[in-house]
Structure 1
Amino acid sequence: MKRLIQRGLMFGNLIRVDSPALIERYNRALKALTGRTTGLTDFHIDISGYSYEVGEELGDHLYLNPNGVNRLFIILTTEQKTAPLLNAKFSTSRGILKQFIEENKAKLFALTARDAVSGELDNSVFDASSPARLFDIRTITVNADTTQSHVKNARALADRIERFRTEDDAWFDDALIAEMIELARTTGDVTRQPIDLARPTYTQDNFWTAHFGGLYVFRDVAEPGVIAVGDKHALGVMPIASTLDFGDRNGIAAFLEVNALVEPIIKARGVDGAAILRQKMDFILIDAATSAGIEIDGMDPRALHRLAQRMGADLPEEFLKLNQLVRWALNGGKWPRIASDDASYFYTLRARPDHPDRDLINMLLSELSPLDIRQLFICHKQAFYDAYARWPDAKKEYVAEFLHRDYAANKAGAREALFGGEEPRARPVTPPPKEDIIDLVGPWGAVRR
């Protein structure tokens, strides 16, 4: 992994924590959440406040993610919103945390100037002891406060201010006034500078989870289903219409088609489909060459073309089928038919760019086409790192250098060219309309019959 770390492709964009004040705040939050503290004088944290170094020190890399559900978080700075989420157990967690920080940026900036903000992504499920339990997760609510309960106290003060304004005898209630004064010592004037954090709730109908070897759950589609990375029979009875695994290539292809989740890259609007497929061919070629122990002369197109010529009859089937598509795109002729059980089939697809679960679908496609190292790295970091550890050194060097040179230099541009559209946002639950008493009976009360 040293090549990746040196090129900023692993543990990149983490937030360094090295000041005594920030470490003291982190420890207060960590103590409140887990009952433990760190003795480290510097470490790095991700968007949730998790630190690999602290995990090593504690001997527990799930110290902010007990049982892999209801992720805890510690926010020391709003800059964490740009950091990755390490040890992710659900695909929705980072998007929810990022959106929460963005939507409460001003309040969090004020609160983290004095204290750490900590909390939980609450999904009301406390264990994932069986695959069926995952289907009890419907929504995620963000609960957050400082270690000194600034938010809780601000809510209490706002409640007492409302009582003071509306109750007839509040001006003479010495106990109420004393409570307001005491709460205001810690919160300040909440009428001028509100510090209450919202408790947003987000839907989690379609998601990936690392539990049980990896599962893709799709409930908010026309024909719901779950797709397992491992053996579907090991999951037992699932409370959903369709259960597939990666061995059911035809079934997965039909599922993606009937739910209108994907489109052929070569026919996608606004992209150079032939160029994208040619790049995938290069990745497949490099894998075949390095696996066979054939030396790679260079990374430029001419060197890779010579490498393909040298391999000749040993070129893999995926390479040849994608080449047929590229020839069709450039020269026309008969449309090359690629069946869904063909090894190259999922390399030809991408998620529809306007779909709200675009990133989840591309994540699934990256696991179904693992030789496309760029898509695997972008869409599914953990699967990429697991695969990288098994590669020969020649492939590791090529991949690390390619990602550093061609992807890291323009990440946003690469994502736009490959997948299109803006990054989808977490979907909030729409609250039911409030039934205000005035709306129900009018300003003069109920009409008597």
Structure 2
Amino acid sequence: MKRLISKGLMFGNLVEVSSPALVDRYNRALKHLTGNTTGLNDFHVDISGYSPEIGEELGDPLYLNPNGCNRQFILLTTEQKTAPLLNAKFSFSRRALRDFIEQNETKLFALVTRDAVAGELMNSVLDLSSPERLFDIHRIVVEADTTGGDVKNARALQEKIEHFRDDDDAWWDDVLIAEMIGLAKQTGDVTRNPVDLGSFEMKVPDYWTAHFGGLYIFRGVEHPAAIAAGDKAALGELPVKFLLGMDQPNRIAKFLELNDLAEPIVKARGIDAAAILRQKMDFILVDAAAEQGHDLTGATRRDLRMLARRIGSDLPEAYHGLAALLRWAEGGGPWPRIASDHPAYFYTLRAAAGPRRDLVNQLLAELTPLDVRQLFICHKELFYTLYRGWGEQKREFVAEFLAAEYQVDKAGTRAALFGHEPGMEEPAPPPEPARPSRRRDDLVARVGPWGAVRR
């Protein structure tokens, strides 16, 4: 993993904490939330204030996320909003934190100049002793305050000010006036500079969780379902009509089609489908070549083409399926019939535009793990897990590729892959569950992406 860290592909874009004042504020907040403190004089934090260095010091990578259920956070600066979220257990956690910071940025900026802001993402479930509890999560409420209680005190002062204004006899209430003066010394003038963070709530009808082997929950679509990445049988009975497993590609494909959640890359607008297909083929080739012990050091695209000719008969079926589709896309071949049980099928799809785009792209990344670029962008937790099991040749190639072609232009790469849509870091919040319109007049939507369509 040191290779990834050195290239900025792991623990990248974290916020450095090195000044004694910020370290002291962090320790006060850490003591307030967990009862622990750190002896480190400098460290780095993610959007939630989690520090991998402190996690290693404490021997607890979940020191701000007990039970992996209700994520606690420490804000030292509003600049944390651009940092990643490490050890994510739910797909909605980073979005909730970022939206909360952006909604209250001015107030938070004023608060963190004096103290750290500590809080928690409350989801109404305190433990996840069984998979059924996941379906009790419907909304996220963010609660936060400074370690000195500035927000609490500001609310109390505001209530006293309103009472003072409304009660004609309050002018003679010396106790009330003394309490107001005492609170004002701590909070400042809340009438001109309000510090109340207000309430923040976000509904989460659809999300991914790392718990129980990984589970994708879709409740806000026309045909709800859950998709298990782990052992489906071990989950038992769940309060959802359809529970699908990763070993059921036909059913997953039907689910995506019925809910208009995915579209063929070759029919998507705003992207170079042929270039994307070639890159996916290269990734599949690299995996096969690494398995066979071929040297990939410094391999260029020309080197990969030569390698493909050399081991062509040993390449997996997914490679040949994408090659056939590429020939069609470039006008040199017939339309390939790639059914949902074909190894190349999910490699030919991308998420359709909409509020569930990022969640579906994460699901597709898990279904197509050889596409390491999409895996890294859409499902970093799984990328790091699989990376540990790769051979040295593949590790080196993938790290060099991502550093050279992704890190230098993240926005451009995302636009090339997913079209001119909102960036992956800022997904739009899902709307209220509704019945989406069905494009019955669209032939592709009626027969599926690989039905009786002909070029």
Q: TM exceeds 0.5?
A: yes
CA, structure 1 residues 387+90, in 2 after alignment: closer, same or farther (shift >3 Å)? same
TM-score when scaled to structure 1?
Answer: 0.93
Deviation at 1:429, TM superposition (A): 8.3
What's the counterpart of residue 265 of structure 1?
Answer: 265
Q: How far apart are residue 17 of structure 1 and its match?
A: 1.1
d(CA) in 2 for partners of 1:378, 1:259: 24
> Is 1:383 the equivalent of 2:382?
yes
Unaligned runs of 5+ in 2: 434-455
In the alignment, residue 401 of structure 2 is paired with which amino acid? F
Unaligned 5+ segments in structure 1 are 431-449
Aligned pairs for 1:311-350 within 5 A:
311-331=311-331, 333-350=333-350
Contact 1:89 1:211 in 2 (8 A): yes
Amino acid at match of 1:302: R
After TM superposition, list the pairs within 5 Å mapping 1:187-266 onto structure 2: 187-266=187-266
2:409 alignment partner in structure 1: 410
Deviation at 1:199, TM superposition (A): 1.7
> 1:99, 1:426 within 8 Å by CA — same for their partners in 2?
no
Work out the CA distance in 2 between the residues paired with 1:45 and 1:280.
Answer: 34
Q: How does 1:434-445 map to 2 (within 5 A)?
A: none
User: Matched residues in 2 for 1:322 and 1:371: separation?
Assistant: 13
Conservation of the 8 A alpha-carbon contact between 2:220 and 2:432:
no
Alpha-carbon contact 1:76-1:112 (below 8 Å) kept: yes
Deviations 1:175-212 (A, max 9, x none): 22111111100000011111111221001110000000
Aligned residues: 429
- State the TM-score, normalized to the length of structure 2: 0.92
Shift of 1:309: 0.7
SS in 1 for 2:337: coil
The residue identity in structure 1 corresponding to 2:385 is D
Matches within 5 A, 1:298-317: 298-317=298-317
- Counterpart secondary structure, 2:373: helix
Structure-to-structure mapping, 1:3-402, within 5 angstroms: 3-296=3-296, 298-331=298-331, 333-353=333-353, 355-402=354-401
Deviates more, 1:421-430 or 1:57-66: 421-430
Contact 1:202–1:427 (Cα < 8 Å) also in 2: no
Which amino acid letter does the alignment assign opposite residue 136 of structure 1?
A: D
Q: Alpha-carbon deviations, 1:134-173, whole Å to 9, x = none?
A: 1011100010000000011111111111111122322222
Distance 1:180 1:155 in 2: 11
What do the CA deviations read for 1:92-112 (whole angstroms, capped 9, x no partner)?
A: 000110111111111111111
Query: Partners in 1 of 2:332 and 2:195 — Cα distance?
Result: 62
Query: SS where residue 129 of structure 1 aligns?
Result: coil
Is the 1:49–1:75 Cα contact (8 Å) retained in structure 2?
yes
**Contact 1:284-1:319 at 8 Å conserved across structures:** yes
Which of 427, 445, 448 aligns to 1:424? It is 427
Is the CA contact (8 Å cut-off) linking 2:297 and 2:397 kept in structure 1? no
Distance (whole Å) between structure 1 residues aligned to residue 16 and residue 310 of structure 2: 48
- The superposition leaves residues 228-251 of structure 1 with CA deviations (integer Å, 9 ceiling, x where unpaired) of 001211100000110011011111
Q: Is the 8 A contact 2:324 2:333 kept in 1?
A: no
User: What is the match of residue 440 of structure 1?
Assistant: none
Shift of 1:57: 1.2
- SS of the aligned residue for 2:342 comes to coil
Residue 438 of structure 2 is matched in structure 1 by none
Q: Which letter does structure 2 place at the counterpart of 1:175? A: V
Cα gap change, 1:15/1:296 in structure 2, threshold over 3 Å: closer, same or farther? same
Structure 1: how far apart are the matches of 2:214 and 2:261?
20
In the TM superposition, residue 10 of structure 1 has moved relative to its aligned partner by 0.6
RMSD: 1.4
Contact 1:200/1:428, CA 8 A, preserved across alignment: no
Q: d(CA) in 2 for partners of 1:363 and 1:89?
A: 14
Paired AA for residue 370 in structure 1: P
Kindly state the Cα deviation for residue 298 of structure 1 after the two structures are TM-superposed: 4.2
Q: Report the Cα distance in structure 1 between the residues aligned to 2:75 and 2:312, rounded to whole angstroms.
A: 55
Structure 1 partner of 2:436: none
Letter in 2 for 1:402: F
CA contact (8 A) 1:298 1:304 kept: no
